[in-house]
Amino acid sequence: MSTRIILASTLLALLFAILVFEKNLLPRLVIDIPKNPPIFQDIASSTEESATSSTETYTKTTTTPGTREPQKENLQPAQSKKDREVILQKLQQDLQNAQAAFDAIKIPAPVPTPHKDRIPQAELYAHAASRVVNFFCDVGNGEISVATGILVSDKGYIITNAHVAEETKSQRCLVRQGSPAHAYAFVERVFMPKNFSITKHSDENLRQDVSIWRVVSSANQTPLPVSFPAFTIDPTKEAVIGTALATFSYPAELLGFQAITTYLYLSFSETIVEAKDAYFIQSLQSLGSQKGSSGGALIDPYTGDFIGLIFAVSESKNMDISSRKLFSLSARAIDEVVYNETGKHLYAYLETNP
């Protein structure tokens, strides 16, 4: 860009020089000037005496009566017509050369900033539906624990909350998938923070609310895939305050047992990030703010990237669901709890086939 600016300046200078040369000089030079015009004759016939001082130089001139006082001008020898034509041709040639050099420089067209569009809802839903599962765990006494989980590895590893694992008191659960949810696979728990307790509500305890499960067998007649669709847990992905995120979960708070068993659908809604830090994301206005959404996913609606894992909702007697706040763990929190327990980051740990 700087080269074009320099050449452009050169072109302007040459154009200015030609205009000045043609407009200001040529009209005076094209007239045939006498060899010794009257003013020159006066100067030639005068007697000149020069004196020099330490501070100033001047010329003392005497004239004969009847002649004009010489004017103090710096007179240059007149140029011939041929000389002027040569100068003009040279300026024009320089201008042509500069123009050619200017035109030869190719500046790439500016690359437009791509407009960031949301992923179409049907496409985003299909993307999440293949990666989100419903935990349907028998906790004894005729009770069923219902929660959500997400596939995070093509080898069939699933993440949900540690409180889900603690509630089940079992190493094995059924997971379902689809809308309505149907039996998909049996999973076994492979990771649970040693110090996590469902009764503790400190930040240190809550940010450990992560458990990992592994698919071990099919729960129906359909063979399991060789490679599972999965979200990537990237610790560098962060929520941005004031932006919208898509939520995917299996909320079951408003449903009876029969509906949960037969007609539980994957919920797709939107939540607005209200506050966040390195480990927690607080958002509001989501239909996913129901029990059963624990272990659900916050997804960037523009990229489909995983942003957070739902672990709690705010609740009070006078608060309707649409006014509840949603609390989620960041991708960094998930990776860090695994590292603190095992000395390995999440995917390095999963490579050990726990």
SS3 label, residue 265: coil
What are the pLDDT tens digits along the chain (354 aa)? 555 555 555 555 555 555 554 444 444 433 333 344 343 343 334 333 333 333 333 334 444 444 444 444 444 555 566 776 777 777 777 767 766 765 666 556 555 555 579 999 999 999 999 999 999 998 878 788 899 999 999 999 999 999 988 877 778 999 999 999 999 999 999 999 999 998 888 999 999 999 999 999 999 989 999 999 999 999 999 999 999 999 999 988 777 788 888 999 999 999 999 999 999 999 986 565 566 789 999 999 999 999 999 998 876 555 566 677 899 999 999 999 999 999 999 999 999 998
The structure tokens listed for 151 are: 């596939």
Check the CA dihedral 259-262-263-265 and report its sign. positive
Per-residue pLDDT at 292: 72
Report DSSP state, residue 24. Answer: I
Task: Assess whether the previous peptide bond of 180 is cis (omega < 30° from 0).
Answer: yes
Per-residue pLDDT at 87: 72
As a CATH number, domain 121-350 is: 2.40.10.120
Where in the chain are all domains bearing CATH 2.40.10.120?
121-350
- Which residues are CB-contacts of 187 (< 8 A; sequence separation ≥ 6)? 158, 172, 173, 174, 175, 213, 214, 215, 216
> Quick check: pTM over 0.85?
no
29 backbone φψ class: left, alpha, beta (φ>0; ψ -120 to 50) = alpha
DSSP secondary structure, 211-239, as one string: EEEEEEEESSSSPPPSS-------TT---
